[in-house]
Amino acid sequence: MKTHTIAIVDDHRLFAQSLEALISSFGNYEIAFYAGNGKEFINSLKEYGKNPDIVLLDINMPVMNGIETMAWIKENKPELKTIALSMDDSEETIIKMLREGAKGYLLKDIHPDVFKKAITDVIEKGFYYSDNITNALLDSIDKKEKDDSIKLKEREVEFLKLACTEKTYKEIAGIMFLSPKTIDGYREALFDKLDVRSRIGLVLYAIKNKFIEV
Amino acid sequence: MKTHTIAIVDDHRLFAQSLEALISSFGNYEIAFYAGNGKEFINSLKEYGKNPDIVLLDINMPVMNGIETMAWIKENKPELKTIALSMDDSEETIIKMLREGAKGYLLKDIHPDVFKKAITDVIEKGFYYSDNITNALLDSIDKKEKDDSIKLKEREVEFLKLACTEKTYKEIAGIMFLSPKTIDGYREALFDKLDVRSRIGLVLYAIKNKFIEV
DNA sequence: AGTAAAATGGGGAATTTTACCCTTTCCAGG
DNA sequence: CCTGGAAAGGGTAAAATTCCCCATTTTACT
């Protein structure tokens, strides 16, 4: 069985080197090199002289992140087989990476067996897509369409932010120079738009969508 | 040289198992077991029968996070030597972990050599503190003593998390198998402890203090 | 065993939130 | 000018939250 080479690009040194130990234990793989970010990777690639068979690419890195790196690869080394690795499973990110040509996407909480399968799949079949990913993609289709159509007006945003405080609606009405009844109207409109059933839902939505800081 | 046992508590399975491979390569350590969160850890601990020499404890985990787990350890197994592991180096978090009795704190981007030294230090000297930590500690000296003495009990935390959903108190009572009146008692106790005047205040507190993810 | 402190639950009431039905006012485009 | 739709406001009632009393049972510790 031929030995394949793998490059690891991840700023978490402990993780990268642990991963190396794990991969070594698989037997027929060896680490070509690893790099702490995209820039380092590009340099190491030149030094290394030939292409590694697989590149494991973290998304969140300082200096040059996974998405930028993926773009560089697409431009300069499109034949490189890259698997994206991340804890962050926001669909946005996955989509971006796949669009830039990643051959696979893995979350760091997967089982090592899945990890091994992903590597061999990419080498043998050229790609690996986990169920999570397809699910995430499907999820994102309707969620995005829902989310996108949600447009909050200026005054609604103002209300939303105040709803994320300990003030009562009556107090909020005072602050916004509106009748409590009008506030109630805003509340209902938002409940409807955001598909929530309580003020707690408003707060959670506001935080998720970064209307307020915590 | 005696072989020491290590337990790994981290929801990132790939990382945990990679770490196992790395630790094995050190020679004189072996993995007792690993767990995906605090609850799993507590169960595994009972199953395992004796204490591992070291516990590597991630902070951000689902179900029961590192801080809650550390609190449990302090309460029930204070003799356990725990090293906190996290990418998140907010001083708040570090302080909390150390106050709960962690013997060391490591960021995941450290060099494996440092990691090894931390483990041996904790076993041999009983503790390991990196420069980062001492800095964080110094920083925090003036900043603290406000929400410091706040101690939430297990059941209160459970309630707090549920209060951060769109469920009504009656529904929460059902989930926790308690009377709505008891839930009301927890609510009042928390309002008092956390100095808030509405359920929104609970949610904000829970998020600030990482009892829930958003 | 004795006691204090938690944990659990209850009554009752004021306030707030939520829901669903409406009317009035205002303003821009035909 | 008039008109349709958005913004603002109203009435009412049920449900949920919040607050202050209190009693019983369990648990923990001396």
Number of CB atoms found within 10 A of residue A120's CB: 16
pLDDT at res. B17: 87
Q: Long-range pairs for A24-28 at CB < 8 Å and ≥24 separation?
A: A24/B21, A25/B21, A26/A116, A26/A119, A27/A1, A28/A1, A28/A2, A28/A3, A28/A4
Report the C-alpha gap between A92 and A84 in whole angstroms: 13
Q: What is the pLDDT of residues B54-96, one digit of tens each?
A: 999 988 888 788 888 888 888 888 888 888 888 766 666 777 7
Lowest mean pLDDT: which of A28-42, A103-117, B49-63? A103-117
pLDDT at res. B147: 46
Closest CA to A85 of B165, B18, B62: B18
Interface of A with B (CB under 8 A): 11-15, 17-22, 24-25, 87, 106, 108-112, 115, 163-166, 168, 196-201, 203-204, 207-208, 214
What is the percent of chain A with per-residue pLDDT over 70, rounded to a whole number? 88
Which one of A32-46, A184-198, B87-101 scores highest in mean pLDDT? A184-198
Q: Are strands A82-86 and B4-9 parallel, antiparallel or unpaired?
A: unpaired
Nearest CA in chain B to A204: B214
For chain A, domains (ranges, CATH) are 4-141 (3.40.50.2300), 150-208 (1.10.10.10)
- B54 CB-near residues (< 8 Å, 6+ apart): B4, B5, B6, B7, B81, B82, B83, B119, B122, B123
Report the C-alpha gap between B101 and B73 in whole angstroms: 8
Q: Are strands A4-9 and A29-35 parallel, antiparallel or unpaired?
A: parallel
Among B15, B56, B106, the residue to mutate for chain A (most A Cβ within 10 A): B15
Mean pLDDT on A68-97: 80
pLDDT at res. A112: 82
Q: What is the pLDDT of residues B39-52, one digit of tens each?
A: 899 888 888 888 89
pLDDT at res. A148: 58
Contact status, residue A78 vs residue A103, Cβ threshold 8 Å? no
Q: How far is B106 from chain A (nearest CA, A)?
A: 10
Q: What is the mean pLDDT of each run of 10 residues along chain B (214 residues)?
A: 86 87 86 89 86 89 84 84 78 73 79 85 82 60 51 90 96 95 95 94 93 84
A197 to B22: CB separation less than 8 angstroms, yes or no: no
pLDDT at res. A34: 86
pLDDT at res. A14: 87
For tokens 């459970």, what's the residue? B158
- Which is it for the CA torsion A174, A175, A178, A182, positive or negative? negative
The string of DSSP letters for B91-156 reads HHHHHHHHHTT-SEEEETTS-HHHHHHHHHHHHHTS-B--HHHHHHHHHHHHH-SSSTT----HHH
Between A142 and A114, the higher pLDDT residue: A114
pLDDT at res. B3: 86
Enter the ipTM. Answer: 0.64
The string of DSSP letters for A189-213 reads HHHHHHT-SSHHHHHHHHHHTTSS-
Element (H, E) at A19: helix A13-26
Say whether pLDDT at A128 is over 70: yes
How far is CA B195 from each of CA A11, B182, B201, B202, rounded to the nearest angstrom?
40, 20, 8, 9
